[in-house]
Amino acid sequence: MPDAPALRQSCPPGTCTCRRDQLLATPGADLRILRLTLHEEKRLAERLEAVASLAELEHLQQRMFDQLGIRMSLAPGASEVRSMRGIAVDFADQPGLCRKTRRNLPAAIRRALQRHPEIAWRLLDAHDLLRDA
């Protein structure tokens, strides 16, 4: 009999808004997000930090959705983009997605953008912000 995949441990009561218990109590719920253990989250953050192109970042974004059900969007922020902090990294509201994960993954992406600014330029160009430049 194959072993069941390891699930993320629950956060201490009152410290997180992930609604993990509600997700586990819902029959037929998509539990893929709970496979993102702390160790796997660390590996994912390292992988996101190591991206070298926009295509690679978009590929990882698609794999995160396919394997974990995480919907993440990358776009220029509502105001001017003067630094990598101006790039908005947003997650769809999803039960089971820990607040720490919502903080750690965008930080890893911003580190990658600082290391490879051409990714940010391609992202801005994809949103037609550099068409006159």
| pTM: predicted TM-score of the whole model, two decimal places | 0.82
Task: Name the domain count of the chain.
Answer: 1
Closest by CA to 123, choosing from 70, 91, 81, is: 81
**23 found inside a domain:** no
**4 found inside a domain:** no
Query: Which pLDDT band holds residue 45 (cuts at 50, 70, 90)?
Result: very high
Condensed to tens digits (0 to 9), the pLDDT of residues 113-133 reads 999 989 988 888 887 755 555
Residue whose tokens read 């820990």: 98
Q: Which residues pair with 91 in a beta bridge?
A: 72
Measured on CA atoms in the order 40, 107, 127, 125, is the torsion positive or negative? Answer: negative
Query: Which pLDDT band holds residue 2 (cuts at 50, 70, 90)?
Result: low
Distance CA 29, CA 103 (A): 24
**116 found inside a domain:** yes
**5 found inside a domain:** no
**101 found inside a domain:** yes
**66 found inside a domain:** yes
The total number of residues shown for the chain amounts to 133
**131 found inside a domain:** no
- Owning domain of residue 68: 32-126
Condensed to tens digits (0 to 9), the pLDDT of residues 8-26 reads 887 777 777 788 888 888 8
**103 found inside a domain:** yes
